[in-house]
């Protein structure tokens, strides 16, 4: 009883605006378990976000494969394999996962597989080099991405059943801030060469694997009530049903349009680094780039999360504004030939990552709150699948960069972010429902 009282007090101190703690959406039985579930969500999500930072394909795995002598063509597959592999399978897997009354178990299995895949990448780095290392890492990352897709389908549904509407953004934002501390320590070690960089990167891979395994064990202890199931439908039929939501719900279409335009915040960093490399920055500043990304998450995640609980629409609008300014400035400085001065690139990456965190938290909270229990998993899978197709088509940016330069790509992405401001402006204020 004392432990529960302490948990309740800690919970109330964090969600201080919710005096009396009335649960508007989840039933009373789930409301009673909410304080304990809140901290389990924060803990599990903080561990997975820490692991994501330690294995970051855009920075860490790119540097690792370069150091192991893998071909550039394979290094270029890292981000597409990670993003597309985590998103595209969801339209087909959502139907099966909805047959599970308690989806925390599927999330725990997915997190376990991600942990094992991260450890395998660590072993590959120790034992292989060249083309063999490149292909092995890409395949292990593909398995990790597929497992991640299962977790993505399940997470928002479990969150919606266990945490009330007004506190979901706070939980995910707090987890992001906690995870940032781990990544900041890691980035500082990379920046100041406190340990041999290769040893540190490999150690980070094993640490990421352990974090995913621990998060699986913690998430499995959530108190989750049985939820609605569709059952008896093939994956293909469920996919077609999901597409009917896209046809019938104009707000869902606008949300996906907004999210699609804001993929610029995810796609831009490799081009920023490429342009910076041409200007003299290169991967010798790996630690400072990781540090910039981690600091942005630490300083903005909790704030974005709290703001999302009030208006996820406005969070998406403001994030798009920040992204448009940062990407336009990066493109202009690259054209002017001044991007190599001092630490301009890490500072710009810091600004973009603040926008990126806002996009992630804003879109996640908006999707959960705009859907209900019966449509949440389908909306999540459909949205992620469409975005996965867009990311796959995003490979055209590599051709544009090859023909016209990375500066032009960044200018195009600044324009995408500008259009996202208009798209997000037309979204409903779903937190007022």
343 token code pair: 């630490």
Query: 168-211, pLDDT tens digit by residue?
Result: 777 777 887 788 888 888 888 888 877 788 899 999 999 999 99
pLDDT at 290 over 60: yes
| Contact between 229 and 292 (Cβ < 8 Å) | no
Query: 232-265, pLDDT tens digit by residue?
Result: 354 455 556 677 788 888 888 899 999 999 989 9
| Contact between 163 and 368 (Cβ < 8 Å) | no
pLDDT at 280 over 60: no
3-state secondary structure of 17: coil
Q: How far apart are CA 324 and CA 326, in angstroms?
A: 6
37 token code pair: 């579930």
pLDDT: is 87 or 216 the higher one?
A: 216
131 token code pair: 């083309």
Q: What mean pLDDT do residues 291-302 have?
A: 80
| Contact between 420 and 322 (Cβ < 8 Å) | no
- Dihedral angle sign, alpha carbons of residues 111, 292, 69, 395: positive
| Contact between 381 and 94 (Cβ < 8 Å) | yes
- Confidence category of residue 2, pLDDT binned at 50, 70, 90: very low
Q: How far apart are CA 265 and CA 360, in angstroms?
A: 10
Phi, psi (deg, nearest 5) at residue 371: -100, 170
Name the helix (H) or strand (E) containing 224.
none
Going from N- to C-terminal start, the domains of the chain cover: 30-221+233-432
Q: What is the DSSP string of 23-52?
A: -SSS-HHHHHTHHHHHHHHHHHHHHHHHHH
Range picked from 55-69, 70-84, 416-430 for highest mean pLDDT = 416-430
> Does domain 30-221+233-432 bear CATH number 1.20.1070.10?
no
Alpha helices in 281-343 (DSSP H): 286-336
- Confidence category of residue 396, pLDDT binned at 50, 70, 90: confident
pLDDT at 27 over 70: no
pLDDT at 117 over 70: yes
CA-to-CA separations, 408 to 155, 383, 398, in angstroms, rounded: 37, 28, 11
Q: What are the residues whose beta carbons fall under 8 Å from the beta carbon of 115, sequence distance 6 or more? A: 51, 208, 209, 210, 211, 212, 213, 216
Q: How far apart are CA 318 and CA 359, in angstroms?
A: 9
Residue 317 gets the label, from left (phi > 0), alpha (psi -120 to 50) or beta, of alpha
């Amino acid at each position: 009883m004392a432990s529960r009282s302490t948990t309740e007090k800690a919970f109330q101190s964090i969600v201080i605006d919710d005096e009396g703690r009335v649960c508007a959406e989840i039933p009373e039985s789930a409301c009673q378990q909410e304080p304990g579930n809140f901290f389990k969500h924060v803990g599990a999500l903080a561990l997975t976000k820490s692991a994501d930072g330690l294995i970051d394909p855009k920075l860490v795995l790119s540097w690792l494969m370069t150091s192991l002598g893998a071909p550039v063509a394979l290094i270029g597959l890292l981000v597409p394999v990670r993003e597309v592999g985590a998103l595209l399978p969801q339209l087909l897997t959502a139907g099966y996962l909805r047959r599970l009354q308690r989806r925390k178990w599927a999330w725990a299995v997915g997190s376990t597989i991600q942990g094992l895949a991260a450890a395998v990448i660590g072993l590959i780095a120790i034992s292989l080099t060249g083309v063999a290392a490149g292909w092995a890492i890409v395949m292990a990352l593909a398995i990790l991405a597929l497992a991640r897709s299962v977790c993505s389908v399940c997470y928002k549904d479990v969150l919606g059943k266990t945490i009330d509407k007004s506190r979901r953004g706070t939980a995910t934002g707090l987890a992001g801030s906690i995870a940032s501390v781990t990544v900041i320590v890691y980035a500082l070690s990379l920046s100041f060469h406190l340990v041999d960089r290769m040893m540190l990167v490999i150690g980070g891979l094993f640490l990421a694997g352990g974090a995913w395994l621990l998060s699986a064990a913690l998430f499995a202890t959530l108190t989750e009530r049985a939820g609605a199931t569709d059952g008896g439908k093939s994956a293909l039929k469920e996919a077609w049903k999901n597409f009917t939501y896209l046809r019938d719900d104009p707000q869902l279409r606008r949300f996906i349009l907004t999210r699609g335009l804001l993929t610029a915040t995810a796609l831009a960093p490799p081009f920023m680094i490429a342009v910076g490399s041409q200007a003299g920055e290169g991967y010798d500043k790996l630690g400072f780039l990781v540090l910039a990304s981690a600091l942005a998450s630490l300083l903005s995640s909790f704030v974005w999360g709290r703001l999302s609980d009030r208006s996820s629409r406005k969070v998406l609008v403001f994030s798009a504004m920040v992204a448009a300014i940062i990407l336009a400035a990066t493109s202009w400085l690259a054209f002017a030939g001044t991007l190599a001065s001092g630490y301009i690139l890490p500072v710009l990456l810091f600004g973009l990552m603040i926008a990126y965190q806002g996009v992630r938290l804003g879109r996640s909270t908006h999707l959960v709150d705009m859907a209900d229990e019966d449509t949440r998993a389908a909306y999540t899978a459909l949205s992620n699948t469409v975005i996965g197709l867009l990311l796959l088509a995003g490979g055209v940016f590599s051709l544009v960069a090859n023909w016209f330069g990375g500066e032009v790509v960044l200018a195009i992405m600044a324009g995408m972010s500008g259009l996202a401001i208009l798209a997000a402006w037309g979204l409903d204020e779903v937190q007022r429902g």
